[in-house]
A and B are shown apart, each in its own frame.
Chain A
């Protein structure tokens, strides 16, 4: 199976703006990301607004969950878009705009981690706060019914406890829908390295889910 070209789950990121997607876009469809960026380079602010609306949610979630800080996410979100605006004259349609955008975001996040120190130990407090708001430690009793909130809290905890590199790859895959090759290009590693990181991340997250699943559903967790 060709993993490099395998698209992501198309969960949250709007993949309609891809360069490849533009060629097969139907008549009357929204313009692709590259066209919008080129229009914005010529002064079309409306094109930028469309581009922004298309990618702002995925980018914000990526930054928020990668940095595990609302304040840092706000700062990085503004920094990333400022760099996109500043680089509009140099923008060339050589890759997907999503790759271009999240490459900037990844670099900004790396700079943030360097400034803030070690990021892994920092986010556990947020996860603990989220767990405290949830009703009862149900997972300690095998007979207790697991609520969806408890499941989400555990999953969030597992996500936050991932190493930054694995979390970065997982978030990029989930938010952008890019293939492993593009994710490796964004993170500056080889595709196999990105694939390995994703595999480890999936194992940890699946383990967190497995604790809350009934024995009948155990086999369906994969």
Chain B
């Protein structure tokens, strides 16, 4: 093999660069291996995978709908819960204002019926049955309860009107209020009866419970104290004296009898009879003289 020439003159290079030359022809006749088919498939698959959007697992397809559904349920539950709380927040002050307005306007039979619900300390004492009071005509001075939104705004007006009606009745209002006063009296008596019945039943239940616990002699003087505490809200239509008697809790039977005697002296026979019945219910074994003034007059 001869050594190749190190230099080719410019003319020969130019001829080569023009195209057809023996070197180029010989180069094209060299055997050349084709690209292996496996390499073709590899490259083409790689190219296809590169532009193909990444496939997500099957469970990933459900994540978006599930997230939307969960969010919707959460939002709905929050909205419902918020709405209930708003109603409670809005209605509580309104009811409180209604109570206050009713307390200052006792002649309104509707509000009286609403607020005369005794708060019983004993959990097992059921509330008294609601009374079906006759619906009185709407008062002229005190307007009917407004919707919740307007009740707060109208409350001072009703308050002033009720006070004016009660404390300084004008001649024009007196005629209208006469019928309401009569209705209120009837309503008050009915409510007091219901309260009384409830108190009696509560006291009797309390007494039965004490007797079962103590199981001592019944004819002793020291009768066990009733555990039931008769505390309830003051009926706004009741008088101060009668309410003082009603609310008083007696631990001493003699003091109770003394008060009953005083009521009879004050010619409050009805109230005295009511207290006597309570006394008998509270202290059934307490001996009271047949001639005691506290006893209810036999009819």
Contact = CB atoms under 8 A, between A and B. Distances in A.
Contacts of B36: 74
Nearest to B3: A207
A140 B86 CA distance: 111
Interface string A183-206: 000000000000100111011111
Interface residues of B, number: 42
Interface in B11-54: 12-24, 26-36, 39-40, 42-44, 46-48, 50-51
A43 B136 CA distance: 84
B7 interface: yes
Given A148-B29, A151-B26, A199 B46 contact: no
A165 interface: no
A208 B4 contact: yes
Contacts of B40: 52, 56
A202 B12 contact: yes
Contacts, number: 133
A60 B35 contact: yes
B1 interface: yes
A221 B51 contact: no
Given A12-B28, A77-B39, A82-B46, A200 B6 contact: yes
Would you call the interface of chain A mostly helix, strand, loop, or mixed?
helix
Contact of A78 (B2, B31, B42, B51): B42
Instruction: Name, among B6, B19, B47, B50, the residue most crowded by chain A CB atoms within 10 Å (CB to CB).
Output: B47
Contacts of B153: none
Interface residues of A, number: 57
A85 B40 CA distance: 14
A50 to B, nearest CB: 11
Nearest to A77: B39
A45 B47 contact: yes
A56 B19 CA distance: 23
A61 B17 contact: no
Contact of B27 (A82, A148, A174): A174
A85 B26 contact: no
Contacts of A70: 33
Given A85-B50, A222-B22, A203 B42 contact: no
A211 B2 contact: yes
A211 B5 CA distance: 12
Nearest to A157: B1
B8 interface: yes
B47 A209 contact: no
Nearest to A49: B44
Contacts of B34: 57, 60
Kindly list the 10 A-B residue pairs having the minimum CB-CB distance in the complex, ordered from nearest.
A207-B4, A204-B4, A203-B8, A43-B51, A203-B5, A81-B43, A48-B47, A60-B35, A85-B50, A61-B32
Given A10-B19, A202-B8, 10 more contacts: A49-B47, A52-B44, A74-B36, A159-B27, A174-B28, A198-B13, A202-B16, A203-B4, A203-B5, A206-B8
